[in-house]
Structure 1
Amino acid sequence: MAGERTRVAVLGAGLIGIDLAEKVQRSRALDLALVVGRDSDSLGLRRAGEMMCVTAAGGIDALLALAPVDVVFDASNADAHAEHWSRLRETGAAVIDLTPTQLGTVIVPSVNGHQAVACQHINLVSCGGQAAIPVLHALAQHCSPQYIEVVCTGASASAGRATRLNLDQYIATTQTAIRAFTGAPEVKVMVNISPARPAPPFRVVMTVLAPDIRPEPIPAIVAAAAEAVRSYAPGFAVTSVAARDGRICVAVEVTACGSRIPRHAGNLDIINGAAVLLAEQHAAARTR
């Protein structure tokens, strides 16, 4: 299998799907076999065609009509993902879910990415989860969080139709994942979609309440977590850290680095960077 690239397909031709397609085209390990949308006249499929991608309309049916692929990125919506997984399971393809469902094995690359190669069904939580969990997990190794609050703010222009339809699932899935990775008994996630102009970068503010916080090591802990995330999301930056009196506040911003989405769409960039990294790990495992 030496020299053979792993065949992948993107299911969904919105902003996430088009950025995914660009990232896959840059990968030396992955071969983009197909970008699938619902409507042949959609802007997303036209853009994918301009990128010289093979495209098809018809959703999951069009994908299943293709010769087998090794990895499927589901960039559609949470309501559709359960059916997609049930129909893809028997194909043997690894399915990487970028919708905010609570199905599959939850993976955050810098925290438990080593588990991904053993999983056929991978859950990437949400863009907010991918931004917050690396920092929160690192902090939870040094204190006992009793309450965690996460506020995600993204530009209106970077929140497509599926994101808006799935906001309830986004919040519930992100809260569940944060509890699992931190052990905090109480977690609250809030989402703001900002119409401001110029469009703001994707921003995540985390507040942790814990009685046993030692403030001195907190900046170094957060910096190390951020450095690990930057290996697949270079635009991830910590903008503020404060710790005192049993309270930690951390703010991060993510700017996008691809050419197909604007810089303020860091929410798309971080989850897509995670998805492509995990697909490349599957590719490496196949060659071994």
Structure 2
Amino acid sequence: MGDRVKVAIIGPGNIGTDLMIKVMRNSTNLEMGAMVGVDPKSDGLARAQRMGVATTAEGIDGLLKLEVFKDIDIVFDATSAGAHRRHNEVLQANGIQVIDLTPAAIGPYVIPSINLEAENAPNMNMVTCGGQATIPMVAAVSQVAKVHYAEIVASISSKSAGPGTRANIDEFTETTRSAIEQLGGATRGKAIIILNPAEPPLIMRDTVFVLSDLVDTDKVEESIARMVASVQAYVPGYRLKQKVQFDVIPPEKPLNVPGIGPQHGLKTSVYLEVEGAAHYLPSYAGNLDIMTSAALACADMMAKRRIAAGIARGHKEAA
């Protein structure tokens, strides 16, 4: 694995553990270096140890003490928005590339199907699970028409919403709304998340409503189909639940959009579902799978650039 870049994961919960397994099974440019937590009894840390990965239960400070740290180039943060701020400060001081899976939004928003090729910042923010699933659809409409308003509703199983997700609901809605506007191209955005307690657990479902200038619906459908295929390249379980629906909002009966006023045009409704790959998490946890899959795609690209430029830490020392 001499041609791979070593990574560490902070947060050995469901997301961190699933991400570790994806790195070890699916990555072409990454190698696991360390798993970092704060609970010595963590199942994720125990699993990492069994898989031969260096671990610490002393948090970010423990990571700095590990022998492998000198070879770490990229760190995934799968903790919380609050904890990420300190983690980022420490990692940036050590020249580490950060992939942020929290809603902290310190770095630029990154959704692989939209802007991965164009971004290369020290801190890359993966938005939210709902954002990763829905904003590509908003961007697809924006590619063929001006989008005035976009609203997304992400419905996930309660069982797939861990402590981190529940503690960051406010950050989820705000970060997703902001990314709808910045990456999706909407003048105004809104995000809603629903934790569904149904048994058996339901697969992740997402609804996207977009109000745009009036445009040929065939062009919108074609743009959405291309975007769906782009997301499926790294999230195979991503798919349209049914045919895209359209409604024409006439000028004489406009919709009142808070913040921008009466608007008319084409309303596009997109219904999605995301089935997880079940590497570690259940297949219904598509909300977590799309985050880890997007983060993996982002880190793979960062590693590829570092290898090509000859700036990977472990590679330089080996040379």
TM-score, normalising length from structure 1? 0.95
Question: 17-26 vs 236-245, which deviates more?
Answer: 236-245
1:69-104: CA deviations, max 9, x gaps? 100000011111111111110111110000011210
1:14-46: CA deviations, max 9, x gaps? 100000000011123211011111100122222
Question: Which 5+ residue runs of structure 2 have no aligned equivalent?
Answer: 249-265, 309-319
1:88-140: CA deviations, max 9, x gaps? 10111110000011210211111111123x32110111111111111111111
Inter-partner Cα distance in structure 1 for 2:31 and 2:183 = 33
Q: Which residue of 2 aligns with 1:19?
A: 18
Inter-partner Cα distance in structure 1 for 2:150 and 2:123 = 28
Q: Which residue of 2 aligns with 1:52?
A: 52
Inter-partner Cα distance in structure 2 for 1:280 and 1:188 = 31
Query: Do 1:215 and 1:244's aligned partners in 2 also have CA atoms closer than 8 Å?
Result: no
Query: Do 1:8 and 1:70's aligned partners in 2 also have CA atoms closer than 8 Å?
Result: yes
Q: Which residue of 2 aligns with 1:239?
A: 241
Q: Which residue of 1 aligns with 2:271?
A: 251
The answer on 1:70 being equivalent to 2:69 is no
Instruction: Give the counterpart letter for 2:295 in structure 1.
Output: A
Q: Which residue of 2 aligns with 1:156?
A: 158
Q: Which residue of 2 aligns with 1:126?
A: 128
Give 1:145 shift. 1.6
Inter-partner Cα distance in structure 2 for 1:230 and 1:40 = 37
Q: Which residue of 1 aligns with 2:8?
A: 9
1:204-257: CA deviations, max 9, x gaps? 100011242322222222111010011111110111211121210001111111
Inter-partner Cα distance in structure 2 for 1:152 and 1:46 = 32
Inter-partner Cα distance in structure 2 for 1:216 and 1:282 = 36
Give 1:186 shift. 2.1
Aligned partner (choices 251, 254, 270) of residue 290 of structure 2: 270
Q: How does 1:216-227 map to 2 (within 5 A)?
A: 216-227=218-229
State the SS of the aligned residue for 1:105: coil
Distance 1:156 1:51, change over 3 A: farther
Instruction: Give the counterpart letter for 2:65 in structure 1.
Output: A
Q: Which residue of 1 aligns with 2:211?
A: 209
Question: 163-172 vs 85-94, which deviates more?
Answer: 85-94
Q: Greater Rg, structure 1 or structure 2?
A: 2
Give 1:267 shift. 0.8
Q: Which residue of 2 aligns with 1:281?
A: 301
Aligned partner (choices 71, 95, 98) of residue 92 of structure 1: 95
TM-align CA RMSD: 1.4
Question: Which 5+ residue runs of structure 1 have no aligned equivalent?
Answer: none
Query: Do 2:160 and 2:285's aligned partners in 1 also have CA atoms closer than 8 Å?
Result: yes
Instruction: Give the counterpart letter for 1:60 in structure 2.
Output: I
Give 1:201 shift. 0.9
Query: Do 1:102 and 1:173's aligned partners in 2 also have CA atoms closer than 8 Å?
Result: yes
Q: Which residue of 1 aligns with 2:40?
A: 40
Inter-partner Cα distance in structure 2 for 1:47 and 1:202 = 26
Percent sequence identity is: 38
Give 1:176 shift. 0.3
Query: Do 2:143 and 2:223's aligned partners in 1 also have CA atoms closer than 8 Å?
Result: no
Inter-partner Cα distance in structure 2 for 1:121 and 1:182 = 20
Query: Do 1:107 and 1:115's aligned partners in 2 also have CA atoms closer than 8 Å?
Result: no
Question: 162-171 vs 218-227, which deviates more?
Answer: 218-227
Query: Do 1:20 and 1:276's aligned partners in 2 also have CA atoms closer than 8 Å?
Result: yes
Give 1:48 shift. 2.7
Inter-partner Cα distance in structure 2 for 1:242 and 1:148 = 15
Inter-partner Cα distance in structure 2 for 1:51 and 1:15 = 16
Query: Do 2:17 and 2:44's aligned partners in 1 also have CA atoms closer than 8 Å?
Result: yes
State the SS of the aligned residue for 1:49: helix
State the SS of the aligned residue for 2:186: coil
